[in-house]
Chains A and B, each alone.
Chain A
Amino acid sequence: MPDVVLPRARPRGTLLRWGAIAGLVMVVAVTLSFASRFGDNPDMVDSPLLDNPAPAFTVPLLDGGGDVSLSDLGGEVVVINFFASWCVECRKEHADLVATAEAFRDRGVRFVAISYQDDPEASRRFLDELGRSEHTIYATDPGSRTAIAYGVFGIPETFFIDGDGVVVGKIIGESNALVLGDALDTILAGDTYGTEVAGNQRSAPDED
């Protein structure tokens, strides 16, 4: 009998079988994961600002001199919409934003539209063409400071701040009056709206 310390015997093929099963499970998981995410933008994530105090800002007004600060609007529900003249989706949602600002004016809601990476003159022409809301403050954002503070990935992007200054909602992409109104109804009822992916958005002027 050989004088050797034998390794522990193991049933043949067990390791291979379990390895193959694990690999198969992973392949299926990856396939399903890809399939479920097809067409989605992985950058569109819940904002870490949700349920947290809104970043303070002071931005120059688009028309005339002066500026506006978030603190100037304290106590009201504030809707901050980032837009640009080069953004097709912004053009499409503009009438809905104006209509919503008008409809909710008596319920303590203020709209602030902040021009994002746009020539102020181009933004003014955009508003001249599509119309301004009397109940919306139009502003610019030099150096994209406010956009960065709010974690803007693309435009249009719309944030909702409640009367206590907490970010309670975010709409990604082109919205409409029904979505905006639904968000405001939810927030005015004292609830958090969360994040809604309403439509497409654009990240740069030369994007197709």
Chain B
Amino acid sequence: MSADRRHIMEMTRLVVTAGLAIAIAFSVLTYQPTVDRAERLGQLIKCPVCSGESIADSGTQLADDMMTLVRERLDEGATDAQIVDEILASYSGAVLLDPELKGSTAALWLIPAAIFVGGLVLVVNRRRRADPVEEADIARQRDAVRTDLEGVAWQRETGEIDLDTADRLTDLYRSELAVLEDAVPTGPVASAEPPQVGPWSRRTILGTTMLVTAFAAVLVGAFIFLGDPEGTGTGVVDGEVDLESVSNETMESVIAANADDPQIDGMRLALAERYFSEGSYSRAFPHYLALAESDTADRTQVATSLTRLGWMTYDGNGEAETAIALLDQALNVTPGAPLPLYLKGQITWCGIDRPDQAARIFDEVLEAPDLDSTVRDAVEKDLHAVENGEPCQT
């Protein structure tokens, strides 16, 4: 083999080896195992049931399940953004440990950042101005202005210059002095020693205040933008419900779930009355019956229920005797009550055909004090019909 050929072979081997090394190095450097990506993604997502922990760090069941989901999605070839988007679609930005920058959170980022930068500039500027050479220069200028002021005062006293010129120069020098004194500590700068910068100069205080303000703004933003725990429902939870607007189904479920609660009697009677007025006797019946047998319902609720049961028994089933028995029970609870008495009179007249008894009952109704005029008119009309032997009119 010639020397040239050996040289070519060596060069070729060298190039191939170097290329292989570069390829391996590139692969190693750019390789991102799924596990690492999962951990990295997990670090970005807050565990929904923890306090500030990522799903990668938390040991809760939900966090573990979410990490498993992340790994599966990665194995399926999903991108990081797709996986984060999937989580955000369910949980919103509240589960991102680094809140995303978008419209509603822009202020959360930008305002504190602006205030922070402003504060930082002021503090740094103050430190920059502490340069001893610059400060000594300004101090020399200040001392020169002071000398000029004294000179003007001397010239005024000796009459070297007129008063108007003296006043004008004095005002000018004083304003210059004020600015220079604001820029450096007061007192002469006697040596090359750097002037001491007070730790609490006005600019430092202002800068610090702005930094604190930036921190406060972050807190306010976090509370304002990241959550609405009060909800947006109809307010029924806060007791703002209007029972008139509640459906029969809702009242049924509330009553069924609280059957043993004495406070439910009022809602049960309201629902039963609603069914009764709709003519739905079969739905009203069990509620009136429950109230009639209740140990907790008050006398009015029991009497009303027995009265309704009595009328429905007659009107719905035509059972006059049973109806009268129920109305008698109502009258035992509230003796002399006009409504059960009047209904009893009507059933006695029309149901069991005893007009004489009915007339006596109607008379008894008319003796009731404070009888409603409409009821009185109806009873008087029925009494008149009974006494004249007319057929019953229910």
Give the B-binding residues of A (Cβ under 8 A). Answer: 1-2, 4, 6-7, 9, 12-13, 15-16, 19-20, 22-23, 26-27, 29-30, 33-34, 37, 40-49, 52, 55, 95-96, 98-100, 102-104, 107, 117, 143-145, 147-154, 169, 171-172, 176-186, 193-199, 203-204
B139 to chain A, nearest CB (A): 11
A104 to B350, CA, bound (A): 40
Chain B residue nearest to A188 in the complex (CB):
B247
Q: Helix, strand, loop or mixed for chain B's interface?
A: helix
Cross-chain contact of A16 among B66, B178, B182, B205 (Cβ < 8 A): B205
Most buried by A among B62, B145, B219: B62
Contact of B250 among A19, A98, A181, A195 (CB under 8 A): A181
For this complex, 17 residue pairs linking A to B, each with C-beta atoms less than 8 Å apart, are A2-B144, A19-B206, A26-B216, A27-B216, A42-B223, A45-B229, A48-B89, A48-B92, A52-B89, A99-B253, A99-B256, A195-B232, A196-B237, A197-B230, A197-B237, A203-B49, A203-B62
A-B contact count (CB 8 A): 226
Nearest CB in chain A: distance from B145 CB, A: 6
A1-B148, A26-B217, A182-B241 given as contacts; is B231 within 8 A of A150 (CB)?
A: no
Inter-chain CA distance A99–B260, complex, in Å, is 14
A9 touches B179 (CB 8 A): yes
Interface size grouping (class) on chain B: 35 or more
Q: Is the C-beta of B387 less than 8 angstroms from some C-beta in chain A? A: no
Residue pair B94, A30 in contact (C-beta under 8 Å): no
Q: How far is the CA of A70 from the CA of B92 in the complex (A)?
A: 22
Q: Are A204's CB and B257's CB within 8 A?
A: no
In the complex, chain B residues 199-222 whose Cβ is within 8 Å of any chain A Cβ: 202-203, 205-206, 209-210, 212-213, 216-217, 219-220
**With A and B bound together, what is the CA distance between A91 and B158 in angstroms?**
101
* A96-B253 contact, Cβ under 8 Å, with A40-B230, A45-B226: yes
Complex contact B227–A178 (CB within 8 A): no
